[in-house]
Amino acid sequence: MYTVQSFIEHHRIENRCKEIVGELNLKSNYNLIYVEEGSKRFADSLVSKIDHAPTLIPLRISTYTGSSSTYKARLNNTDLEKLKKVNYAQPTLLVDDICDSGRTLSYVQSLLPAGIVTIVLLDKPDNHICRVRIDHAGFEVPGNLFFVGYGMDYNGRFRDLDYIGVMRQKSVLKKNETIDVFH
């Protein structure tokens, strides 16, 4: 049997989002580039705490299958075109749910001007294998755990949890197998 246990409660996530927004000190319009689908909830939480509405730029990048990284991060041509049209004279935030190896963020950062501000909900610094700049991390977490909830998923499951949970085993679930969720 597999279990998902609460690791970071909802109120702690919301409080940390408020702190990050306070550190940003945005006083005008801004761009918010976020990696779908995992970071959408985190991005929405940040936006709800900022007085000014952003220009939202969602990017579709997937580097995981189940709990294993595919080791490749690529954007399609549509998303590359979106990035070319961004007004980088405005403050620009790059938001992702988790920095594990750093491959995804490093790749996206390589496509953007140097002045962007990178924000991640979870950072696993012990797992970084490439140079990546993180300006604001919600929480630094152990590299040996697999996280779900608050937008992060396991094969499309658990994305809707309002807290961050940790899966105790990374094995692939069999069809109709149940997972106990503790909160």
CB atoms within 10 A of CB 163: 19
* Catalytic center residues: 100
CB atoms within 10 A of CB 139: 16
The pLDDT score that the predictor gives to residue 96 is 96
Mean pLDDT, residues 28-50 taken together:
93
Is the model's pLDDT at 25 over the cut of 60?
A: yes
The pLDDT score that the predictor gives to residue 53 is 86
Query: Where would I find the beta strands (DSSP E) of 9-152?
Result: 30-36, 54-60, 64-65, 68-69, 92-99, 117-123, 136-140, 146-148
Query: What's the CATH class of domain 2-182?
Result: alpha beta
Comparing 64 with 21, the larger pLDDT belongs to 21
The pLDDT score that the predictor gives to residue 61 is 83
What end-to-end distance do the CA atoms of the chain give, in Å? 17
Comparing 108 with 1, the larger pLDDT belongs to 108
Domain spans in the chain, listed from the N-terminal domain onward: 2-182
Is the model's pLDDT at 21 over the cut of 50?
A: yes
Q: Whole-model pTM?
A: 0.85
